[in-house]
Chain A
């Protein structure tokens, strides 16, 4: 065997780096079986980290008695959906976004835990502190996942293994890592070995790796696009690899160009730190459809307070307010209004949105209501000082 056939390997437990000719089953130093080995291990710099069943892991961390039980995070109302199913519950077929009643049919013994979003945000912030100690090029996708660009570092696999270790030790939940040369493949990789995974997709195998996977695996292909692609004879990514860029562009326009490139493992989107959010909103689905303005307004009040908390946390202010209503027959109504001056106060948002709501509340039964701050401006502009500081002067 020649030296050139050796490929880099890393023990994810003791962080020992070594070279091996084939996938090592054990770390030569500590004996751990958690070794990552790949020819391009030291040539890849885009990573995706994704917490394993985030909400469920946090609840199991905080309530050890639930550790060996299947749990479902979500509400128990007839319309609730599963936010997260733990890995035990997944063995019964429970999945996130599944209606809760269905998940309970599949796994009647599952413990249902109401989500505590405030707690999840705090845990997310803890994880981000660890990520920030490694790189500042972080693009959060959700509370529990983010892209990392590590191209400025020498010790990329070590840094990633270190993140996974520290999150387990300091935060108490596990995550999976995907490492590749672009965002699409890094995200694909992180999903390969969950939980506690560390997967690598290199340039050499990317095309062959993607070929057998369903088109649905492509970022941006939803159920409708999937049906359309299948109708046109494209079931796997490999099918897309067989045709010319021109053909896909002719069929699907600009999106066709994206499909062609992504099928070949080409994705030039950069890791963009702190994606600027355009709006901050909160919404709720009613247990029973509502039509009376007073009921709708009452439902809106706690949502406005959630928006206020979120605005303050992000140091943003609402320059306008959006009212969102979904009628019983799923028709969406969205109404926008500019505020006289930007605000962070729930009361101001509610007062502004009230006439909009009263106009829409024409007897229609609504199943969902939401309120959003949009557009957003710098929080420093919120609620400018007023000569008559008491805004609630009632004029009487």
Chain B
């Protein structure tokens, strides 16, 4: 294998693939990136056995071939090469080292046999559709904060995507929850997604995907197999295992009949929560929200820090209610609200509260109150 590639092209691609490689690996080969040179250019491939990324870049290939080299080391070297440099990569079929030359620098890196590099490509990917990149970004951005990191509830460690209808409109819906809050966001259903099963895409996949589609203007092609999902866009193919579990029946926990309706300025509310929460204890972050007609009173107290109270005007005409929330959760949800107003639908201090932008907005949030 011998090829020459522009430093910036290689760096960008290595940046993408090395991000998938875990810092600590029990299997040494998983620390490596697979480099495969063909007539079409160079393919870089990295995996952690749950998530696999392949990116193809153009390179002047003199002699095809393939090997694997330490991903983080390779990335560090290329990152430190001067801008505009040309990089020559060579590997002898019988050799154990990859050589990298650029200008007057020369590196020799230990390689591991390419035959040992695990492949995640197998499986039949049938169900396939294309989703607009901005839609996919919105689905991820507006739900990812609610993904659970609790390992014992692995079936909540990702975003649940499924196709359904909402007020008679066909939609692709994303749901994430950690049991304390829930985010539900939908976009118009892409053509061909009608028959997709409900799937749970792991957190790491979602976050990597989100970084990679930051600048994509095109559609992202999504394909599904029994156990995997594949995203193809630009020159990247991202393949991930799906979480093998059943997402809970989330509709069941979204209250339909909450009749205490509050309309409040989003920024006004978020800023007040931010100020008052300075007093709430680090551990609980609890703040108390007392709502009476026209007036919303936020308060917090902690035995160490003292107490805080702030009043803001609010559009409310139901019975007075006092309810506690985790201030961080409340601010995260308010941060997701588009537009100036947030709508709160409450029942009582112990039942879930629904938060929306408008009565029929694309996003819906559920927040479990705290005991205060």
Stretch from A224-232, A282-290, A382-390 that touches the partner:
A382-390
Choose from B155, B182, B370, B371 the contact partner of A393 (Cβ within 8 Å).
Answer: B155
Kindly name the residue among A378, A381, A386, A387 whose own CB sees the greatest number of chain B CB atoms within 10 A: A387
- What residues of B have a CB within 8 angstroms of the CB of A355 in the complex? 151
A351 and B152 form a contact (CB under 8 A): yes
Q: Which residue of A lies closest to B286 (CB)?
A: A381
Interface string of B354-372 (1 = CB under 8 A from A): 0000000000001011110
Choose from B152, B178, B179, B284 the contact partner of A381 (Cβ within 8 Å).
Answer: B284
Known: A377-B283, A395-B155. A386 touches B368 (CB 8 A): yes
Number of A residues near B (Cβ < 8 Å) is 20
Interchain CA distance A51-B281 in the complex, whole Å? 39
B147 to chain A, nearest CB (A): 12
- What residues of A have a CB within 8 angstroms of the CB of B180 in the complex? 341, 384, 386-387
A393 and B248 form a contact (CB under 8 A): yes
The size class of the interface chain B forms with chain A is 20 to 34
Q: Which residues of chain B from 288 to 323 have a CB within 8 Å of any chain A CB? A: none
A353 to chain B, nearest CB (A): 11
A297 to chain B, nearest CB (A): 15
Is A342 at the interface (CB under 8 A from chain B)? yes
Choose from A319, A378, A384, A391 the contact partner of B368 (Cβ within 8 Å).
Answer: A384
B324 to chain A, nearest CB (A): 10
B149 and A388 form a contact (CB under 8 A): no
Known: A377-B283, A378-B284, A396-B245. A385 touches B371 (CB 8 A): yes
Interchain CA distance A342-B368 in the complex, whole Å? 16
Interchain CA distance A384-B328 in the complex, whole Å? 15
Interchain CA distance A381-B371 in the complex, whole Å? 8
Q: Which residues of chain A from 66 to 96 have a CB within 8 Å of any chain B CB? A: none
Is B352 at the interface (CB under 8 A from chain A)? yes
Q: Which residue of A lies closest to B285 (CB)?
A: A381
- What residues of A have a CB within 8 angstroms of the CB of B179 in the complex? 386-388, 391
A340 and B245 form a contact (CB under 8 A): no
Interface string of B329-369 (1 = CB under 8 A from A): 00000000000000000000010100000000000001011
Interchain CA distance A377-B286 in the complex, whole Å? 13
Known: A395-B245, A395-B246, A396-B246. A387 touches B283 (CB 8 A): no
Is A217 at the interface (CB under 8 A from chain B)? no
B4 to chain A, nearest CB (A): 46
Interchain CA distance A340-B148 in the complex, whole Å? 9
Is B117 at the interface (CB under 8 A from chain A)? no
Is A134 at the interface (CB under 8 A from chain B)? no
Q: Which residue of B lies closest to A319 (CB)?
A: B283
- What residues of B have a CB within 8 angstroms of the CB of A380 in the complex? 284, 371
Interchain CA distance A90-B178 in the complex, whole Å? 58
Is A159 at the interface (CB under 8 A from chain B)? no
Is A352 at the interface (CB under 8 A from chain B)? yes
Kindly name the residue among B152, B154, B245, B352 whose own CB sees the greatest number of chain A CB atoms within 10 A: B152
A-B contacts besides A387-B182, A387-B368, 13 pairs, CB < 8 Å? A319-B283, A340-B148, A340-B149, A340-B150, A351-B152, A378-B284, A385-B368, A385-B371, A387-B177, A387-B253, A387-B352, A395-B153, A396-B245
Closest 10 CB pairs of A and B: A395-B245, A395-B155, A386-B179, A340-B150, A387-B253, A377-B283, A388-B248, A381-B284, A387-B179, A385-B368
